[in-house]
Chains A and B, each alone.
Chain A
C-alpha cells in the first residue's frame, strides 16, 4: 500500500509536470502578445522591446519554462500582468472559493445521483424509474452554462428568488452565501447527477441479477438488506471510478459558471487571464488544478480498494 502511494505520487508529479509543459506551449502558440495588451495599442516599438526584455519574454521558450518552473519550486509563481499582484497570493485567495463550490457540487451530485440511480433500478419500469431516466437523459445533454444562464434569467431576474450573481463567504453571511450558491451548484451538478444516476442504475440492475444476490435472498435476508448491503456495494464499484472521472468535467463546468455568476474563484480568474494572455496566472492555475485532479484520482483509486477486496495495491 505504501509503495503504491509512493509510486502514484511520483506518477502524479510527472503528470503535472507534463501538463504544465503542454499549457506553457499552448499559451505561446496562440496568437496575441501580452506586452501589447499591457502597454496598449499606442506603445512604441522601443517600449515594447523594453518590457519584453523585463518580463523575460525575449528568451527562448525552453528557457522561459525552466525559469518559471525554477521559481515555482522556490514558491514564486510570478507576477500577474493585469492584476499587478503575486500569482501565488491571487490563487490562494481564490482557490478556497472554487474548492468550496466544487466540493459541494461533487458531494451533492454523487449522493443524489446514486440515490436516483438506485431508486430507478429498484423500481425498474415504474413511474419513478421513467422520471429519473428522463431526467438523466436530458441532464447529460444540457451543458451547465446553459443551465446557469437560464437559471439566472428565471430565478434571478424574472422571479427574483435568488441573487443574480456574486459570492459571499459562508463565514461572513451564511444565508446569503447559500442563496448565491444554489444557482451555480445546481448548474454544475445537473449533468453530474445525470451521469452518476445512469451509471448507478445500470450497474445496480446488473448486480441484482448476480448469483450472490440470489444466494443472499435464499438465506432469508430482508429485501432491504439484499439490495442495500449485498447488491449496492458491488454496484458502487464502477460508480466510484466514474465519480473520479466526472470531477474533471465538474471543474470545466465550474470555470464557466464562475464567469457567468461572477464568482471570484480560480475559474473566473483563469478565464480572464487566458483572454488577456496573462500566462503566469494560467500556468499557476493549471498547476494547482492539475495537482488537485491527480490527488482526487489517487483518492478514488484508494477508495476503490476499500470497496472491493479483490483489489490489492502492489
Chain B
C-alpha cells in the first residue's frame, strides 16, 4: 500500500544576508495512514521548515523550495502553485497544522469560534449554524468547559493551555488525513504539556489521523510515536521504528540526544551529558559529515567523506560511517 505522504529529497533554502542557508538539505521520509511519526532535532536543524514545506507555507522570499517531491495521496503537492485551489484544499482540509505558539497563533481580533468556523465553512461547506454546532462539539472534545459559551471568547480570554487545545480542535475540526504538530507543547508549562498532549493523542486516535509530531522532547516521542526521524543540520541522520531507535540507536547524535535527557528509570546521580559544541552554520557546509565537529566518537571514524543514509536493520537507517547500532548502542560512551 502506498504511504499517505511521501517526501522525497526535499530541499529548502533561505536567502540571507550572509549567504544561502540550506535549511532542509535532501530530506526523505514517509508516513502511513493513521501512523504517528516523531521528528526530533535541536533548534534550527530544519525540522519545522521541512514540515512547513509540505503545505508550501515557507515564506518566499527569503525561503525557497528548491527541489523534491511531496507525494500526498498520489499527487505531488509541490507541482501545484502555493495559492492554487488544490493546495488550499489540502491545507486545513487534508493536512491540519498545529503550531508551537498558542499565545500568538490565534488572530486576536476574532473570536475562537469564528476562527474554527472559518475552516469548517471553507472545507466542509457547512452552514453558519452547522459550523457553530460542530465547533462547539470539537471544543468540547478537547476539554474546553462551557464550550458553547467559550466559543464566543476572544483568544486573550483563553489561557495558554486552552488556546492550544482550541488550536488542536481547529486543526482536527475538518478531519484531515494528516496532522502536523510543530512543537505543540513546547511553549506550555509542564503539567499543561501533559494534558494537552494527552488530548491531542486521544483526538488523533479518535479521528484516525496520521500525525507528524515535531519536537525536541524525546519523552513525547518514546511514548507516542511508532517511528522516529532524527534530523541534524537539515538532514535526516537516523530513521527507524521508535523501539529500535531507542534501544539500538545507530547515530552518535541520537545517542547524544538521549544522554542529554533525564530518565526516571535509572540510577539517581547520573549526570546529564550535554552535546558539546554548537549546531553548524548551514551556509557553505563542507562536504564532510556534518556532525563530525561535535561527534564524541570522532576518534573511531577514519572517513573524510559525507556519509549516506544506509540501512542498518529492518526499516532502520543511519547516516554514519561507523557501525554502532545493533550492539545495544544506547549504553555507548557512558
Within the complex, what minimum Cβ distance (angstroms) separates A122 from chain B?
Answer: 13
Chain B 97-132 per-residue mask, 1 if CB under 8 angstroms from chain A, else 0: 101010011111111000000110011000000000
Chain B 154-167 per-residue mask, 1 if CB under 8 angstroms from chain A, else 0: 10100000000001
Contact of A220 with B91 in the complex, beta carbons under 8 Å? yes
Contact of A234 with B154 in the complex, beta carbons under 8 Å? no
Interface residues of B in 80-102 (CB under 8 A from A): 83, 87-93, 96-97, 99, 101
Whether a CB of chain A sits under 8 angstroms from the CB of B170 is: yes
B residues near A214, Cβ cutoff 8 Å: 57, 99, 105
Contact of A219 with B109 in the complex, beta carbons under 8 Å? no
Given the known A-B contacts A212-B104, A212-B105, are A218 and B57 also in contact in the complex, defined by CB atoms under 8 Å? yes
Within the complex, what minimum Cβ distance (angstroms) separates A84 from chain B?
Answer: 55
Cα(A178)–Cα(B122), bound, Å: 45
Contact of A221 with B122 in the complex, beta carbons under 8 Å? yes
B residues near A210, Cβ cutoff 8 Å: 104
Interface residues of B in 273-320 (CB under 8 A from A): none
- The tally of residues in B whose CB lies under 8 Å from a CB in A reads 30
Contacting chain B: which of A44-52, A145-153, A305-313? A305-313
Interface residues of B in 37-91 (CB under 8 A from A): 55, 57, 83, 87-91
Whether a CB of chain B sits under 8 angstroms from the CB of A216 is: yes
Interface residues of A in 256-314 (CB under 8 A from B): 307-310
B167 nearest CB neighbor, chain A only = A215
Contact of A308 with B122 in the complex, beta carbons under 8 Å? no
A217 nearest CB neighbor, chain B only = B57
Pull 24 A–B residue pairs with CB atoms less than 8 Å apart, ordered by A: A211-B99, A211-B105, A212-B105, A212-B108, A214-B57, A214-B105, A215-B105, A215-B167, A218-B57, A218-B92, A218-B97, A218-B99, A219-B119, A220-B122, A221-B88, A221-B92, A223-B83, A230-B110, A234-B107, A234-B109, A307-B109, A308-B108, A309-B111, A310-B154
Closest 8 CB pairs of A and B: A220-B92, A220-B91, A219-B92, A218-B97, A211-B104, A212-B107, A220-B88, A309-B154
Using a CB–CB distance below 8 Å, which chain B residues touch chain A?
55, 57, 83, 87-93, 96-97, 99, 101, 104-111, 118-119, 122-123, 154, 156, 167, 170
